[in-house]
Structure 1
Amino acid sequence: MALVADAVTYCWSALWLTRIRPVEPAPARPVKGHFTAGIRWVFAQPVMRALFAASATVQFCNFAFHTIFVLYATRELGLSPGLLGLVLSAGAIGGLLGAAATSRIVVRVGVGPAIVAGFALFSVPLVLVPLARGGEPFVVALLFTAEFVSCAGAMLVDITSGSLQMALIPDALRSRVTGAFRTLNHGFRPLGALAGGVLGSALGLRPTLWIATVGGTFCVLWVIRSAVSRTRALPVAAEEGERPEVAGAKEAPVSAAVVSADGATAGNGSELGKR
């Protein structure tokens, strides 16, 4: 019944999506080299390069983690289906609150620091999962906290990094760059899932969770020392072939960053893919 209910929610979402009637420009004529042009732009742009590396790191490790998480929670920690559902529901609540708080966080600290904070909040709390042992209330409390904070961080980084990417990418290159970025980035998901399954079978569930969760925290290193952390507001949109300054003078006001952050969730497609 739970799976049926989940399927119904997707159908309900699809019904509402059919009511959207966006006004879109005519698509560019498909020519050879669009994908490689997108890849070249991503790796030539310092901010996009850092975001790609951070996202790829957390994608790989997060999918390794979630491949074996349910097995670990039920077999090694002995959680019942009801308690496991309670733990996972904490992630949904954290995600909603994280999305709601993003605008205020961006206003207070800026877009770049919010992205760094989002990556940290997304990855670091999951270390509590392999730490969980002892009495059931304590274990549930640790897992609940890990899911709640991690999902809040995932929404914070999804919205802010998506807004920054949309501001950076020239309109003429948007589909090429976004397509290349997501194709490469999402390609780490099955690799992470495969690594999680192989390591879980070879090393055991808890050691594999340690590798996945600690490895995921390295995503912060890619952005904290890059131009991302110095970006306070969204840059002015660039034309094709230009590289907008992200930590310099040509920046949009912070209020514009907040508005864009609120509207970026759908366009970003939950880039990090917590679920």
Structure 2
Amino acid sequence: MLEVGTAPRLRSWLRYRQDLTMDSLTSTSPRNLWRQRDFQLLIGGRLVSQLGDQLQFLALPLLVVTLTGSAIEAGVILGLQTVLYLVFGPVAGALADRWDRKSTMIWCEVGRGALTATVPIAAAFGALGMPQLYLVAVLNGVLSTLFGAANSSALPNIVTKTDLPAALGTVGAMSNALRILGGTVAGLAYAVGRTFPFAFNAASFLASAAALRAIRADFQQERATASASPRVLVADIGHGLAWLWRRPVIRTLAVIDAADSLRYGAGYLLIIMLAQRLDANPTQVGIVFTGAGAGALLGSLLAPALTRRFPLGALSITMLWVEALAFPFYAVAPTWWLLLVVAFAESVVSPIYNVALDSYRLAVTPDALRGRVTSAIDALTTGSAAIGALVSGALIAVLGAPALTLVLAGWLAVLALAATLSRTVRTATSTTSPDLTA
């Protein structure tokens, strides 16, 4: 059982300071990540799984609209895949800190593969319906929450803290390069067969599990051995939240991210409906998201160098203002290919900010708390995105896609102004020094 008293916190702090000192002595410059076998396996498995997710994420709302004719139901089922972060996320983080992270990730991948495979199997027998899609979305949401908490906590044990910006930038660049391919392939895959993306995704989960099993490194430095009773988990969650509350930079930017994620969750279905309003076919809808992937790829390639050069506060404020100024152009684009141009421009800045913030957060968070801190932030950001997805269909039906686009642009402008006026955000630096200011 992890204690919550003063002495255990002091021991954890001393171990953390020792880790920072050793990193500064042994790692003066980023190493070649592509020569590190464990990193290769980690990113390889992730990319295969992400390709499957890319195909399914575009196919799912299109399949729901085909089965029901309802944009509202499409928004609901997209939100159900992630809304569980609000309820299960804190528990998942505590379990990720207590359980073996590697085994947890492997079994989550196996479980998600088995669940996703039921969709094409049911379709082959003519038995596919909305109740099954809702059940698969909920159960996959539970496993995805637990996998995400363990996965986000593992990277600093695969690479050093000095390598984190380069590692996160590489992961982002490879992921976004895959998005460029995946957006187009997703539309083509759906055209081949409505459930083919689900079959591919099921296989990708199993490939990811195999890659994780081959990694030699431990995914955590230490973990509690006491049983994870409800009372112990509640205490663990409280310890993680208390640590996060005392870090104003991470806390403030997490709240801003959560508010931005409301727009992001609504934006996915919104862009699909805007494209269909311009008579775009499924392949062209996929190409629009390819434009977003290309912009994010550029941002990921620039992120490591910019993270080292500019402070975290400046990057976050710049990201919000660029998003606020670019988003209204979605509403006035007269053709689907101009939607692609807007998607590209808007997507460049977000990966730069994400690499800077994630590098900072992972570096300053002790390993024994990473699952809980990560899950607490995910509960805010992913939960907010889920709420945005849940209400997006209803808002589109009431306001119309162009009007909702302008409303979301105004929301982004409010967030950008709030960040600009916040002294905590303005003075945030991209450093591995602990965030102790009040």
Q: Structure 2 matches for 1:150-165, cutoff 5 A?
A: 150-165=346-361
Q: Give the C-alpha shift of residue 144 in structure 1.
A: 1.9
SS in 2 for 1:187: helix
Give the direction of change, closer, same or farther, for the CA distance of 1:9–1:213 in structure 2 (3 Å limit): farther
Deviation (angstroms), 1:118: 3.1
Residues 16 and 48 from structure 1, CA distance in 2 versus in 1: closer, same or farther, beyond 3 angstroms?
same
More helix by share: 2
Match in the other structure for 2:432: 235
The aligned amino acid for 1:97 is L
Match of 1:21 among 216, 223, 227: 216
Q: Distance in 2 between matches of 1:89 and 1:10?
A: 23
Alignment partners' CA distance in 2, 1:216 and 1:20 = 41
> Which of residues 290, 293, 310 is equivalent to 1:109?
310
CA shift for structure 1 position 56: 0.6
Report the Cα offset of residue 22 of structure 1: 2.6
Which of 21, 39, 58 aligns to 2:241? It is 39
Aligned residues of 2:221 and 2:368 also touching (Cα < 8 A): no
Structure 1 length as normaliser, TM-score? 0.73
Percent identity among equivalent residues? 22
User: What is the distance in 2 between the residues matched to 1:151 and 1:17?
Assistant: 30
Q: 1:67 and 1:151 mapped to 2: Cα distance? A: 16
> Is the CA contact (8 Å cut-off) linking 1:53 and 1:219 kept in structure 2?
no
For residue 352 of structure 2, what is the amino acid of its counterpart? L
Q: Residue 168 and residue 33 in structure 1: after superposition, are their counterparts in 2 closer, same or farther (change >3 A)?
A: same
| Structure-2 change in CA distance of 1:110 and 1:44 (3 Å) | closer
Report the residue type matching 2:266 in the other structure: A
CA contact 2:313–2:425 (8 Å) conserved in 1 = yes
Do the aligned partners of 2:311 and 2:428 also contact (CA within 8 Å) in 1? yes
Kindly report which structure 2 residues correspond to 1:123-142, keeping only aligned pairs within 5 A, or say none: 123-133=324-334, 136=335, 140-141=337-338
Moved more, 148-157 or 57-66: 148-157
1:121-270 map, 5 Å: 121-133=322-334, 136=335, 140-141=337-338, 143-224=339-420, 225-237=422-434, 243-245=435-437
User: Structure 1 CA distance, aligned partners of 2:319 and 2:209?
Assistant: 28
State the distance in 1 between where 2:244 and 2:259 align: 16
Deviation at 1:89, TM superposition (A): 0.8
Offset at residue 59 of structure 1 (A):
0.7
Alpha carbons of structure 1 residues 12 and 214: separation in structure 2 relative to 1, 3 Å? farther
The answer as to whether partners of 1:130 and 1:210 remain within 8 angstroms in 2 is yes
Residue 157 of structure 1, CA deviation = 1.9
Change (3 A) 1:85 1:172: closer
Structure 2 match to 1:77: 278
Aligned AA (1:155): P
> How many Å apart are 1:222 and its aligned residue?
4.2
Q: Which of 92, 95, 99 does residue 296 from structure 2 map onto?
A: 95
Relative to structure 1, the CA distance from residue 210 to residue 175 in structure 2 (aligned partners, 3 Å threshold; closer, same or farther) is same
Q: Give the Å deviation of 1:160.
A: 1.1
User: Distance in 2 between the 1:90 and 1:19 partners?
Assistant: 34
Looking at structure 2, the residues matched to 127 and 41 of structure 1 have their Cα atoms a distance apart, in angstroms, of: 38
Indicate the residue corresponding to 1:259 in structure 2. Answer: none
Report the secondary structure of 2:405's partner residue: helix
Q: How many residues align?
A: 235
User: Contact 1:42–1:181 (CA<8 Å) still a contact in 2?
Assistant: no
TM-score (norm: length of structure 2): 0.48
Deviation of 1:9 (Å) = 5.7
- Structure 1 vs Structure 2 CA RMSD: 2.7
In structure 2, stretches of 5+ residues that fail to align are: 1-187, 191-195
Secondary structure class of the residue paired with 1:218? helix
Q: Which amino acid aligns with 2:189?
A: A
SS at match of 1:25: coil
* Pair 1:121–1:21, CA change in 2 (3 A): farther
Aligned residue in 2 for 1:258: none
Q: Determine if contact 1:124/1:214 at 8 Å carries over to the other structure.
A: no
Larger Rg: 2
- 1:87, CA displacement in angstroms? 1.8
